[in-house]
Structure 1
Amino acid sequence: MSGSKVPTIDDLIKLDQEDPLNWTRDEFEIPNIQACGGERDGEAIYFCGNSLGLLSKKARKHMIEELDVWSTSSVTGHFSHPHHRPWKHVDQPLTPHLAKLVGAKESEVAHSSTLTSNMHNLFTSFYRPTNKRWKIVIEKGSFPSDWYAVHSHPKLHEAVLSPQQIDEAIIGLEPREGEDTLRTEDILAVLEENKDTIAIVWLPLVQYYTGQLFDIASISPKVHSIGGLLGLDMAHGIGNVECRLNEWDVDFAVWCTYKYLNSGPAGIGGFYVKDGLDDGGRRLAGWWGNDSATRFQMLPQFNPTPGAKGYQHSCTPVLSSIPLLATLELIDTVGFDKMLKKQKSLTGTLETLLKSSKYYGRSSEEEVGFKILTPEYPYRGTQLSVSLLPENKGVMPRVFSRLVKNGLIGDERYPNVIRLSPVVLYNKFEEVGRAVMILEDALRAEEEGEVKERGEKDLDMASKD
């Protein structure tokens, strides 16, 4: 609804009634305001699915079933399972869903480990620096885990790289002065400038802090034209935005599943390896990467499973895979195209309401207000990152605390950003309207506090005069 008239609460309630996906909310357990730290009872407005997705009712049912199998059957549950989910093959029903969701072949997808561990695993195989081509491109504002992980790999190649090369191995992308997000043309310019030395370009599909969706379709051809590999962190992309890894010609990618795919706290990760990508014999082998047909023969020779699954190490964790399966089955029932259509409308409505606020766009150092860091559609998913102003007065923590007390659960990112993410599967248009009202109330309280504080200072100065 961005760019259209500002909807009323009655308009939003009508949108919910007409929404063909309004039934999916009942598939989830909605958090309670008091349990989240609020001051009253009732369902919270949960706009934090970009950090941790909600528990689905089907996932709860499946989890209890798995606990019962563990209780009654124990180790035999690996092979004989009353619900036809033998633990030995628990990843098998997940793979087709995941492949479809990321736009890849089933052979290119593995369900394993955690995002950063998978990132280290794939970098070990595919970052093979030479004296002429050794640099890694990454955004300076990347999630810390990516930043730390990328910096650790050049140091592992001291036999090939000089100390100076190791020091100069990382090329950090940053927005233009006065801007909050990266321009595609600036990324392409950096690639051209360093075209003879770049080994890997590592980008997020969706940037965690700003919510920017990168134009991978435009970036990928340039990466490959200069002889580099393209890797993606899809933590904030999978289940949120359209992913076309094959079409974009991405070389490798990693993701987590506890955000938009609702696998539970610290739930299992996954990764993608393009078919035919050469690892130069640098694979980190593990038992679960061995061919499943001979895995239990315990042979001394490692015979990797063809494709991405050959890079797995240990057996698949059941208790974080089962909640994921519940969400993947729900997405398949709903249709991801329909989810994307609702996402555009739901997040667009939030944008429209935020931009209609009197607090939007204030730039004075004396006025309480906010700006939106996240680009407009189509360069975003569900998340809008709201930057509280003035930046130098610690406004954000106080405003965020008021939001929680009044039942709006977002996500705080220091120093001054609150991330709000209305998720298609369980959030409503009416909640979007009430969320903006709660934010405005919190800003009004902050503004009144500022006015009172200035008045007290004026009185204090007058008394001294």
Structure 2
Amino acid sequence: MFRDHFHLPTGPDGKPLIYFCGNSLGLQARAVDDQLHQELGSWRERGVEGWWGGPDGGWLGYHRRLQDGLAAIVGAQPEEVVAANALTVNLHLLMISFFRPAGRRTKIIMESGAFPSDQHAIASQLKFHGLDPADHLIEVKPRVGETMIATDDIVAAIEAVGDELALVLWTGVQYYTGQFFALASIAAAGRRVGAVVGFDLAHAAGNVPLSLHEWRVDFAVWCNYKYLNGGPGAPGGIFVHQDHADRPDLPRFAGWWGHRESDRFAMKAEFIPERGAAGWQVSTVPVLGLAPLLATLPLFAEAGGMTAIRQRSMELTASLYEELQQLPDLRILTSDDPAQRGAQLSVYVPGHRPELERQLSEAGLIVDYRQDNYDGSGGGVLRLAPAPLYNTPEEVRAVPERLRQVL
């Protein structure tokens, strides 16, 4: 149990609150203070010379200090990953390179109800290429009366579009329902029809085991502030398969930090990309923004890696599922199949309750609540996400009573 490695929010009585909101913002690791102070000290004592002097050789290759940890979490080779930019920025940058509509291949397929930022990015990319999203964006929905999207339906939709499909852009874990998609099957289906395959892993990285290299995914993006506990607004993550590591021919919106490091400071006008995912960096590495990840990533390895973390997560979520069934007025949207969910359970709460999130917080339970019109009643969805690194079975068992107090 790694709970003692994290700062836990406390209530007025000084006791820890039940924090089931790691799917929105992970907690701060205790080691973050020391890591940030180290970089602040280097800045204070060395100024600009901190780039090439000080602990671990300075800041110039800062992103490389994160590669092994991130690669292990997403199932990649170290050179295939980099922490840089931000999630939606990275999605745009990677789509510039990998969404290249031509001839019949002009369409994108994604899940219905994707996170709005993904919808905005994809629609704007289609318009950038002069394509109408109404004609070139295909969204796969759950079957009538269901909340999960069947893998068979996803694969069938990919095969139906066939040689008109330019890009499969799919979510790892659905932000709203908590569904963990069969990513290996989706990637294989995309490859069979000759499409590029990209994943948004915002709710999957650090939550579920991934094998991006093995699945031959072309690219992926994620944020590092949820299950990876990188801090509010932490720089995002990029995966680019090694098949594309040495492809300077790929178009990209370039910036100087993506230039080949060996002659980056020669200030040449010609852009020569660094090998691998690092070639999609744009601006100077945000040292203070990445420092918390250096404190947090080692905890995943110490905990036994993603297989061990996933096992503990499944135990917590199974227990939470049983506890929530004690509240018959609530409807659990997330699958009862452990293989189809990550650390999050989404629960539909009927009625108009704009103050519900605040009320639950006052009752000692911090969760995420999204007001919605899911069934026409004006209700909303509670997203409860016990994070296996710092949440406990005792907290899971306490959740129904906290919900009863408020509901």
TM-score band by shorter chain is over 0.9
For the residue of structure 2 that corresponds to 1:66, the secondary structure is helix
For the residue of structure 1 that corresponds to 2:21, the secondary structure is coil
Alpha-carbon offset, residue 94 of structure 1: 0.3
8 A contact 1:126–1:279 mirrored in 2: no
2:120 equivalent to 1:148:
yes
8 A contact 2:323–2:399 mirrored in 1: no
Instruction: Give, in whole Å, the separation in 2 of the partners of 1:175 and 1:341.
Output: 27
Gaps in structure 2 of 5+ consecutive residues: 373-379
Alpha-carbon offset, residue 349 of structure 1: 1.1
Alpha-carbon offset, residue 152 of structure 1: 0.7
Matches for 1:34-45 after TM superposition, within 5 Å: 34=12, 41-45=14-18
8 A contact 2:35–2:294 mirrored in 1: no
8 A contact 2:356–2:369 mirrored in 1: no
2:214 equivalent to 1:247:
yes
Percent of pairs identical after alignment?
41
2:297 corresponds, among 323, 328, 335, to: 328
Instruction: Give, in whole Å, the separation in 2 of the partners of 1:151 and 1:30.
Output: 39
CA-to-aligned-CA distance 1:303-335 (integer Å, 9 cap, x gap): 211111112111211112111111111111121
| Coordinate RMSD, CA, aligned | 1.6
- Equivalence for 1:92: 64
8 A contact 2:225–2:233 mirrored in 1: yes
Equivalent residues, number: 396
Instruction: Give, in whole Å, the separation in 2 of the partners of 1:180 and 1:226.
Output: 27
Instruction: Give, in whole Å, the separation in 1 of the partners of 2:180 and 2:67.
Output: 25
2:390 equivalent to 1:426:
yes
Matches for 1:191-202 after TM superposition, within 5 Å: 191-202=158-169
Alpha-carbon offset, residue 432 of structure 1: 0.9
Instruction: Give, in whole Å, the separation in 1 of the partners of 2:118 and 2:355.
Output: 30
- Equivalence for 1:372: 332
TM-score normalised by L of structure 2? 0.93
- Equivalence for 2:27: 54
Larger Rg: 1
2:312 equivalent to 1:339:
no
Alpha-carbon offset, residue 56 of structure 1: 0.8
Runs of 4+ in 1 over 6 A off after TM superposition: none
2:255 equivalent to 1:309:
no
Alpha-carbon offset, residue 68 of structure 1: 2.3
CA-to-aligned-CA distance 1:67-95 (integer Å, 9 cap, x gap): 222222221111111x3261112111101
Matches for 1:104-253 after TM superposition, within 5 Å: 104-158=76-130, 167-253=134-220
Alpha-carbon offset, residue 140 of structure 1: 2.1
Distance 1:399-1:283 versus aligned 2 partners, 3 A rule: closer
Alpha-carbon offset, residue 280 of structure 1: 5.0
- Equivalence for 2:254: 285
Alpha-carbon offset, residue 203 of structure 1: 0.7
For the residue of structure 2 that corresponds to 1:202, the secondary structure is strand
Instruction: Give, in whole Å, the separation in 1 of the partners of 2:137 and 2:111.
Output: 10
8 A contact 1:48–1:422 mirrored in 2: yes
For the residue of structure 1 that corresponds to 2:339, the secondary structure is coil
Instruction: Give, in whole Å, the separation in 1 of the partners of 2:139 and 2:263.
Output: 44
Gaps in structure 1 of 5+ consecutive residues: 1-20, 35-39, 361-368, 444-465
TM-score normalised by L of structure 1? 0.82
2:360 equivalent to 1:387:
no
